[in-house]
Amino acid sequence: MFSNLSNRQSFQPHRRFVLKTCASGALLGVTGFSSAAWAQQPLALSTAINHAGLLRALSQRIAKAYTQLALDVLPERSQKVMASAQDIVRVNLLELDHAGLSEDMVKLLQLGSADAERLLGLVAGKPASAKLGEINKAADQMLISANHLTNGLEGRGKSSAKIINIAGRQRMLSQRIAKSFMLIEAGQDTASLSKQLDTAQSEFVLAMNALEAAPVSTAGIKENLALARTQWMFYQGALNSRDKTTARRDVATTSERILEVMDSLTLQYDAALKELLGSVAYNDTHFASLQL
């Protein structure tokens, strides 16, 4: 029953995710906006945090999709996920490059761009199991540089802007969990990846608690938080399935579905903060165990 339910709920998550990202501005390049127009319209800080934070998730999503292809897990869908993730990375970097960032943030963006290009170069061509270790390292390096940029941007805003970072970081964790799982399935460094998998799951729960306790909320946010909890139960079921074929398939689809939900939440927090920024405060949340 779980398998059927997760498949129905996740039939084309990558497609909805791309459409949602288009609506939020990450794919403006395909709608006729020019670089000159972007240069004249700097992003709102919360939006820049959102876009930079999305790069963290995409680093792990690309490595996840590549590993799924190497394992022959839903190959057609995995290829579409890979292609969409790479497209969003390129357009997000372009948008941030024309976002009117300060000089120190531009330097962080340049480092992130270089790390992204390395990862995109490595995943080009036919998937090969022999490259999984190198791709994992490159994905994590891109994650680190994108995280530096995101945190740097967050530091420019008021404390309430942190909720964008926390919500956006959940997108990354949803993909990091699946990436670690798939790499373990592929026979990579099991001990290290098992620790990474456990840590990412613990961090995801911690952040969900923080989001639910935050005073920034709307009816839509509450609805998506409840949906995220439900999807998290499905995700846990997939990760713990004893049937390897079913587990791989369900982790692949459910990780995309929960990514979609968390992306929607991030956009909702972005919209809410455009109205409320500066009027709320909440307890800080630290993620020391992940060290990112």
For the chain, the domains span: 21-276
| In the predicted structure, residue 163 carries a pLDDT above the cut 90 | no
Percent of the chain with pLDDT over 90: 66
Residue of higher predicted confidence among 210 and 8: 210
CA–CA distances in Å: residue 116 to residues 60, 76, 218, 288 = 11, 23, 35, 24
- Whole-number Å distance between alpha carbons of 199 and 194: 9
Over residues 261-292, the pLDDT tens digits come to 999 999 999 888 777 654 444 344 443 334 44
| In the predicted structure, residue 53 carries a pLDDT above the cut 60 | yes
| In the predicted structure, residue 43 carries a pLDDT above the cut 90 | no
pTM: 0.82
Mean pLDDT of the chain: 82
Residue of higher predicted confidence among 71 and 38: 71
DSSP assignments along 195-211, one per residue = HHHHHHHHHHHHHHHHH
At 8 the pLDDT is 32
CA–CA distances in Å: residue 63 to residues 42, 49, 50, 136, 218 = 31, 22, 21, 6, 34
Over residues 12-26, the pLDDT tens digits come to 333 343 434 433 433
At 2 the pLDDT is 32
Which distant-in-sequence residues (6+ apart) come within 8 Å of 154 by Cβ? Answer: 49, 161, 162, 164, 165
Q: 96-100, 186-190, 205-209: which has the highest mean pLDDT?
A: 205-209
At 160 the pLDDT is 59
| In the predicted structure, residue 211 carries a pLDDT above the cut 90 | yes
At 274 the pLDDT is 75
Residue of higher predicted confidence among 122 and 159: 122
At 256 the pLDDT is 97
Over residues 98-143, the pLDDT tens digits come to 888 999 999 999 999 999 999 999 999 999 999 999 999 999 999 9
DSSP one-letter code for 129: G
- Whole-number Å distance between alpha carbons of 19 and 23: 6
